[in-house]
Structure 1
Amino acid sequence: MKIYSILAVSTCLLQACSASIWGSNKVDPIKAEGNLPKAPISKYDYKLSFKKNFYYNNTIPFWVAGGDILKADDFIRLSPSVPNTKGHIWSTIPNPHEAWEVEIAFKVTGSNMHGGRGLAFWYAKENNQPGPVFGSKDKWDGLSVWLDSANPRTHKPSTMVLLNDGTLAFAAGADPSKHTIGTCSISYRNLENPTYLKVSYKDTTLTISMDNGSGGKDYRTCVTKSGIKLPTGYYFGISAASHSPADDHDIISFETRQLNPPLKLEHPNRPLEEQKKKRGEEFTGIDEEQKKKIEEAEFQMRKLRNTEDFQGETAVTMATIYDTQRRAIEHLQILQLQIEALGAPNPEDAITGNYNILDLSKLSTPNEGNQGVNDEMSRIVQEIRLESQKSIQQFEKISKEQNRKMSDIQAALVRLEGTLTTLDKRHLAQSNMMHKKMNEVNMHSAETKGTMSSFLKYIFYAFVAQFLFGIAGYLYWKLRVERNDKKFV
């Protein structure tokens, strides 16, 4: 899951940088690179998902719920611990994706030793059809994954995967084990943490995985089946039913993702971009909000680089290898017991040499009883050989997929570093341009200041000259008056 986080942070950073880089370049950056970028691994479909907060106007957007469900703030209880209750939630929008992945977080709790029925995931042609099969319709058309906590044979929680074309009826008592395409037994009842169920469909391959305590980080493969054809246009759903004794069946989240979505080659316009183009303007610079986004994205990238990015996938791979080896060891132990039953020495006696040669001669004596055992031994050896080959092929496939993802991430990081370098150069050029503009403004201000000081000097000199002319006129007038007064006397 951390791979998805790296790609999400990289996408956020590239979107934040695009406003600065694309604003000054007229050439499409995709064409300028000379190659097409890789498509994202998955795309979240919010219309085919629901999680906390679930409700809008007391309804789940794009979903319909019915039956005896109880709506809480942090979960939806499909059926409470009351006998003969059932509930369901179905999407109102058909699935348009050819390759998809659904991840469901749920909890099943009860006070009794054994479970009281269970819940089921649906991908069916018709939606919102209540019925007797885990609270949904019998004779459905599509895929169903049953999480049966009241298995009458094992009395343990079991997972069964079934396909129905609308003709098979299980409510009448038909044995579902004869029609399953795969089963597994992974405990999910009365656990402290939620259990995660992942249903993936890609390239006609259906994969069912479960995580019963690691928060969706350590999935164990339950069923993998190739050659499955699931059409688009069907509906997702989840339902549950409680018998006697009864359990609480809580849904915490239901998230759908499109696998390998198509690549978008056209980039949407920025706000007011068309208006600016009509006025002949061009977007330049980075505002403070974009700078904060870039700093946050860089911080997240540094944080992710310092963690173990593939811890989750490595754990899943090791769990698959462990399960395969455990089954091979069980087959070998059965084979050893059968050989010892024919008279062969046990491993301790074989190592120490403490065995009777005459007993070994019986092993090669052909008779009717030994012939059947030998046939059984040959069949078991062949099964072990086939199982080992499958394990080796699966391990090689997982290794190739992990190497491919590593290459994709390294390429994305290289492109991201290139983008950051271009952004730094762009920011430095703009800073130099701003300094140049400020220097020109300062020079212009100095010239204006010098012109103003000269103008003030001229005004001052004019006032001084006017003052002197005034004094001279006053003295002239006074002397003239005094002369006239003397003449008159």
Structure 2
Amino acid sequence: MKVFSILAITSCLLQACSAGIWGSNKKDPIQAEENLPLAPTFKFDYKLSFKKNFYYNETVPFWTTGGDVLKSDDFIRLSPSVPNTKGYIWSDIPNPYESWEVEVAFKVSGNSMHGGRGLAFWYAKENHEPGPVFGAKDKWDGLSVWLDSANPVTHKPTTMVLLNDGTLAFAAGTDPTKHTLGTCSISYRNSENPAYLRVSYKDTTLTVSMDNGSGGKDYRTCVQKSGIKLPTGYYFGISAASHSPADDHDIISFETKQLNPPQKLEHPSRPLEDEKKKRGEEFTGIDEEQKKAKAEFQMRKLRDTEDYGGEVAVNLATIYDTQRRAIEHIQILQLQIEALGAPTPEDAIGGNYKVLDLSKLSAGAGTAANSGSGPDPTAEIQRIAQEITKESQKNMQQIERIAAEQNLKMKDIQSALVQLEGTLSTLDKRSLAQSNMMHSKMNEVNMRSAETKGTMSSFLKYIFYAFLAQFLFGIAAYLYWKLRVERNDKKFV
């Protein structure tokens, strides 16, 4: 029974090492690969987008430009700073998505105090048609977002969101403020960095947001409206127009994303799956050797990658190699035990084996020893069992040692992270203290400047009063002298 108990322990160790329970509690990466991936939140559509580098064979792929467009390597200038110029860029492919998001990076710059018209975003039924509304067609059918830099009322950049069913003619005098879904005033003209316009449509909710210079990291909601119905199959576009004074209207990028795309229903192709399907064979999965080869390839790739060439990757590779050698050694011992007639691990777990009667074996061994026919088989089995026990203990000690070293290294990493957090908190406190000090100094400077201004004003008042007193005193002396002289003249006469 001792032999079979050692065999059971060995098989458990083999399965435990194969499952990777000595390293961490994470899932098997090979098994995780076979699970379906999580559905992404968006999918980028390169055909409905353009950015640097813009041109291929002197054109923007899947887009059409027209009007007074100037081509550059860093931007597309729809309308230059020349009065009465206009231009546009329209997508050649209709939008097939029910939920979408568009992000436009642009710059509007000019030398005058007020803007010279502006640009507009379009999601319309018809494309490639110029017109009087920011360089595009009037009486359009669809959505438009106007970025008006020359609002005649406020003289500030104004963003307006409008829907048109093809009947409203704004160029003929229709007041757009009576038909807007919403407006906002966010300054974007002459910004140092490109400004961003983001238009998203999801679940009949239209949201228009703007970022006026932080690189698309600080969006402010301009208009959000529910119950909006925008059909698929319309075209995206951007147009611009310059009046007098004129501005430069530059488009840096135009990126379109599908929101909440459907999840793929098929598994990604696994190794050798396509080859077996071509031969007409059924693919049931990869065997143990292929899994092992794939794991070794991933570890070699991990060791060769510069991004994972640090100490943690080296330690993981060492642990993996040690566990692999331990498993190979246990497999060799298992084969040796099976060669002596022991059942396989599957038979031992399933109970498909016969219990060896050691009393008969001992009796047979004694008879064989008395007869002198050969060596004692019981002693040989005990010797093999002792060797297996010693090897198992060595492997257990080695695995425990590696686990302890890994725990120490993890503790070192955690302590380093704690120290880093402490350093960062100290830096934050110092920066906060310096900021408070700067504020206090600025307040003192302001107070001193206010006191100085008050002193100067009092001094000027004193001077003014002194001059006024001298002036009055001079007039009084003059009048007194004049009256005295006139009296003396009269007396003399």
TM range (shorter): 0.5 to 0.7
- The answer to whether 1:29 aligns with 2:35 is yes
Name the counterpart of 1:83.
83
Name the counterpart of 1:114.
114
Q: Which amino acid aligns with 2:35?
A: P
- The answer to whether 1:221 aligns with 2:230 is no
| Alpha-carbon spacing, 1:72–1:178, altered in 2? closer, same or farther (3 Å) | same
Name the counterpart of 2:124.
124
Structure 1 residue 116: Cα displacement: 0.7
| Alpha-carbon spacing, 1:243–1:269, altered in 2? closer, same or farther (3 Å) | same
- Say how many residue pairs are matched: 295
Q: Which amino acid aligns with 2:242?
A: S
| Alpha-carbon spacing, 1:427–1:116, altered in 2? closer, same or farther (3 Å) | same
Whole-angstrom CA distance in 2 between matches of 1:217 and 1:137: 33
| Alpha-carbon spacing, 1:104–1:426, altered in 2? closer, same or farther (3 Å) | farther
Whole-angstrom CA distance in 1 between matches of 2:259 and 2:304: 28
Whole-angstrom CA distance in 1 between matches of 2:264 and 2:322: 31
| Alpha-carbon spacing, 1:438–1:38, altered in 2? closer, same or farther (3 Å) | closer
Whole-angstrom CA distance in 2 between matches of 1:19 and 1:84: 66
5+ residue gaps, structure 2, are 1-25, 334-493
Structure 2 matches for 1:298-377, cutoff 5 A? none
SS of equivalent to 1:46? strand
Whole-angstrom CA distance in 1 between matches of 2:148 and 2:329: 74
Q: Which amino acid aligns with 2:199?
A: V
Whole-angstrom CA distance in 2 between matches of 1:220 and 1:180: 19
Q: Which amino acid aligns with 2:301?
A: K
Structure 2 matches for 1:406-421, cutoff 5 A? none
Structure 1 residue 21: Cα displacement: 1.4
Match of 2:301 among 280, 291, 294: 291
Q: Which amino acid aligns with 1:245?
A: P
Percent of matched pairs sharing the same residue: 71
Structure 1 residue 190: Cα displacement: 0.5
Name the counterpart of 1:206.
206
Q: Which amino acid aligns with 1:189?
A: R
Q: Deviations over 1:391-449 (max 9, x none)?
A: xxxxxxxxxxxxxxxxxxxxxxxxxxxxx9xx999966994499669999xxxxxxxxx
Q: Deviations over 1:13-59 (max 9, x none)?
A: xxxx9997169x9xx524xxxxxx65222111111111111111121
| Alpha-carbon spacing, 1:275–1:161, altered in 2? closer, same or farther (3 Å) | same
Whole-angstrom CA distance in 2 between matches of 1:275 and 1:430: 32
Whole-angstrom CA distance in 2 between matches of 1:153 and 1:247: 19
Whole-angstrom CA distance in 2 between matches of 1:294 and 1:182: 56
Q: Deviations over 1:321-377 (max 9, x none)?
A: xxxxxxxxxxxxxxxxxxxxxxxxxxxxxxxxxxxxxxxxxxxxxxxxxxxxxxxxx
Name the counterpart of 1:179.
179
SS of equivalent to 2:171? coil
SS of equivalent to 2:172? coil
Whole-angstrom CA distance in 2 between matches of 1:173 and 1:275: 68
| Alpha-carbon spacing, 1:207–1:276, altered in 2? closer, same or farther (3 Å) | same
Whole-angstrom CA distance in 2 between matches of 1:82 and 1:114: 15
Q: Which amino acid aligns with 1:21?
A: I
| Alpha-carbon spacing, 1:291–1:222, altered in 2? closer, same or farther (3 Å) | same
Q: Which amino acid aligns with 1:83?
A: P
Name the counterpart of 2:48.
48
Structure 1 residue 296: Cα displacement: 7.7
- The answer to whether 1:144 aligns with 2:144 is yes
5+ residue gaps, structure 1, are 1-16, 31-36, 303-419, 441-489
SS of equivalent to 1:134? coil
SS of equivalent to 1:171? helix
Q: Which amino acid aligns with 2:194?
A: P
Name the counterpart of 1:242.
242
| Alpha-carbon spacing, 1:91–1:272, altered in 2? closer, same or farther (3 Å) | farther
SS of equivalent to 1:291? helix
SS of equivalent to 2:274? helix
Whole-angstrom CA distance in 2 between matches of 1:115 and 1:267: 54
Name the counterpart of 2:103.
103
Larger Rg: 2
Structure 1 residue 269: Cα displacement: 1.9
Q: Which amino acid aligns with 1:181?
A: L
SS of equivalent to 2:177? helix
Q: Which amino acid aligns with 1:29?
A: N
Whole-angstrom CA distance in 2 between matches of 1:75 and 1:261: 30
Name the stretch that deviates more: 96-105 or 283-292: 283-292
| Alpha-carbon spacing, 1:178–1:261, altered in 2? closer, same or farther (3 Å) | same
Structure 1 residue 169: Cα displacement: 0.4
Whole-angstrom CA distance in 1 between matches of 2:226 and 2:267: 37
